[in-house]
Structure 1
Amino acid sequence: MKKKIIYIISDATGETAERVIRAALSQFYDEDVRVQRLCQIRNEPDVHQAMSVAVREPGMVVYTLVDPHLSQTVERIAEEHGLLVVDLLTSLIYNLSRYLGAPSKEKPGLLYRIDPEYHKRVAAVDFTVKHDDGQETRNLHKADLVLVGVSRSSKTPLSMYLAHKGYKVANVPLVKGIDPPEELFQIDQNKIVGLIIDPKRLVEIRASRLITMRQSPRGKYADYHLVEDEIGYCRQLYRRHPEWMVIDVTHKSVEEASSEIMRRMDLLAQK
């Protein structure tokens, strides 16, 4: 079966629209779909060029254009060629305008404009990448947050998600039989978040990872009893450091766990 395509036509990066689409796609199983962004659409020629791509290889068109004239052009071309088209923004902006009692600015790219907050996020991502998986522990004191946990307990995905929110995050792996770096205990202990996960779920994750890497899932890395020992070691360490926040990530998405962490950070900032 030919792969289905969803085109995103955006006057900015299209990143937000893609997140919405992928969130919706997660509700469907075994659907082979390609999401293609056609971005920085700012005038009529841009619209025609973008839509020509969708016409050549037909697919669903989802657009986020604040200029109503460009939106109308997309709708017209889609109708002429029988393409399914969805407007993600207009209805929301219209109803927000009614609710707020104010007109919209109709300026593209405001969400990702280059401002101090943008530079803060870039710096946070750069820091987080450089301090992933126990790297550069001498700089832990510069981090806004330090995540600790066993291998495959979502340290890196959580770190990157929080970095895109503007937090400088370091993460440190915990390995039974190997002492954590001394620097971990020399920083503000309220900045440390311990991750915990159900051993059975962790075995599943590790076994899947090994299979993906074309390795046997029967080794020590995914052995249930050894994994249980690792989790037990973490729990003991966390009990010795009550200042640390502890989050069970077993049944939490990255977004849910991050929200808990950010609430903690907000509370600390208010003290």
Structure 2
Amino acid sequence: MKTIYVLSDSTGETAERVIKAALSQFYEEDVKVHRLFQIRSQSDLQQALAVVVRDPGMLVYTLVDPHLSEAVERVAEEHGLIVVDLLSSLIYNMSRYLGAPSREIPGLLHRIDTEYHKRVEAVDFTVKHDDGQEPRHLYKADLVLVGVSRSSKTPLSMYLAHKGYKVANVPLVKGIAPPEELFQIDQTKIVGLVIDTRRLVEIRTSRLLNMRQSPRGSYADYQQVEDEVEYCKRLYRQHPDWMTIDVTNKSVEEAASEIMRRMDELSAY
């Protein structure tokens, strides 16, 4: 059994994937990849290298601190170990090409990967909980948007999801009680969307025309729409812990920024 050691100042996952991709080109199967990670100091490095020296193997490292890299090279030379630096040459040449120094901050790639996966999970959750779907899972949401039809619930939910928030949205329909689960979760997570009646009539009329349907029905009737809007406003007043956002003259980006800012203010208390 041969061993390839991965020394990393982060998780070492990226280096391990590279090594396994390279190993796939060989028939030799008796190779163990052993990760020694979160190496951030000389003390960490000494402990890791003690493992390598005790049971020698090939050394592959991804350390952005040049002092740590030099120490690895020195020990590898002393003990006759094969050593491969996966990062330094690439970073050096990128620095030359970009005309800028590297930040030399350990774990940046892992942080980027973590944020990416967080956003993917948020988008997946938001898609599955659009338009009142799966109300039993409302408690898992970071935010729950409520409002009348065509008040930007879905586009706003998706925009916030791409920022990493798990968002559910629930339509409010006059004459139909909202799901009980809405009143059983943390009420400060709920955002009530407000929109001007006239603007909502315009949006609904345009929607109907785009679908080649007549705008003369109740869906775009001014009085009907005004009753729906007033119903929502009354519901919001009955629940003072709900955040309310007027989306009438706001883009999705502006409304989302206001929600995130106010959420940050709440979490600061």
Query: Shorter chain as normaliser: what TM range?
Result: 0.5 to 0.7
Tell me the distance in 2 between the aligned counterparts of 1:250 and 1:206: 13
Tell me the distance in 1 between the aligned counterparts of 2:186 and 2:228: 25
Cα displacement string for residues 49-95 of structure 1 (whole angstroms, at most 9, x for unaligned residues): xxxxxxxxxxxxxxxxxx7999xxxxxxxxxxxxxxxxxxx8xxx8x
Q: Secondary structure at the match of 1:255?
A: helix
| Unaligned segments of structure 1, at least 5 residues | 1-66, 71-89, 98-102
Which residue of the partner structure matches residue 193 of structure 1? Answer: 191
Cα displacement string for residues 108-151 of structure 1 (whole angstroms, at most 9, x for unaligned residues): xx999851111000000000000000000000000000000000
Cα displacement string for residues 1-46 of structure 1 (whole angstroms, at most 9, x for unaligned residues): xxxxxxxxxxxxxxxxxxxxxxxxxxxxxxxxxxxxxxxxxxxxxx
Which residue of the partner structure matches residue 144 of structure 1? Answer: 142
Alignment of 1:1-271 (within 5 A): 103=101, 115-271=113-269
Structure 2 counterpart of 1:180, one-letter code: P
* 1:147–1:112 distance in 2 versus 1, CA, 3 Å: farther
| 8 Å contact from structure 1 (residues 125, 164) kept in 2 | yes
Which residue of the partner structure matches residue 40 of structure 1? Answer: none
Structure 2 counterpart of 1:230, one-letter code: E
Tell me the distance in 2 between the aligned counterparts of 1:118 and 1:185: 31
Tell me the distance in 1 between the aligned counterparts of 2:253 and 2:112: 25
Structure 2 counterpart of 1:168, one-letter code: K
Tell me the distance in 2 between the aligned counterparts of 1:232 and 1:189: 21
Q: Secondary structure at the match of 1:115?
A: helix
RMSD: 2.4
TM superposition shift of 1:268 = 2.5
TM superposition shift of 1:266 = 1.2
| 8 Å contact from structure 1 (residues 145, 170) kept in 2 | yes
* 1:267–1:180 distance in 2 versus 1, CA, 3 Å: same
| 8 Å contact from structure 2 (residues 159, 256) kept in 1 | yes
TM superposition shift of 1:269 = 2.3
* 1:256–1:237 distance in 2 versus 1, CA, 3 Å: same
Count residues with an aligned counterpart.
173
The structure with the larger Rg is 2
Tell me the distance in 1 between the aligned counterparts of 2:158 and 2:96: 37
TM-score normalised by L of structure 1: 0.60
Tell me the distance in 2 between the aligned counterparts of 1:185 and 1:117: 30
Structure 2 counterpart of 1:131, one-letter code: H
Hey, which bits of structure 1, 4+ residues long, moved more than 6 A? 67-70, 110-113
* 1:111–1:178 distance in 2 versus 1, CA, 3 Å: farther
| 8 Å contact from structure 2 (residues 95, 102) kept in 1 | no
Q: Secondary structure at the match of 1:141?
A: helix
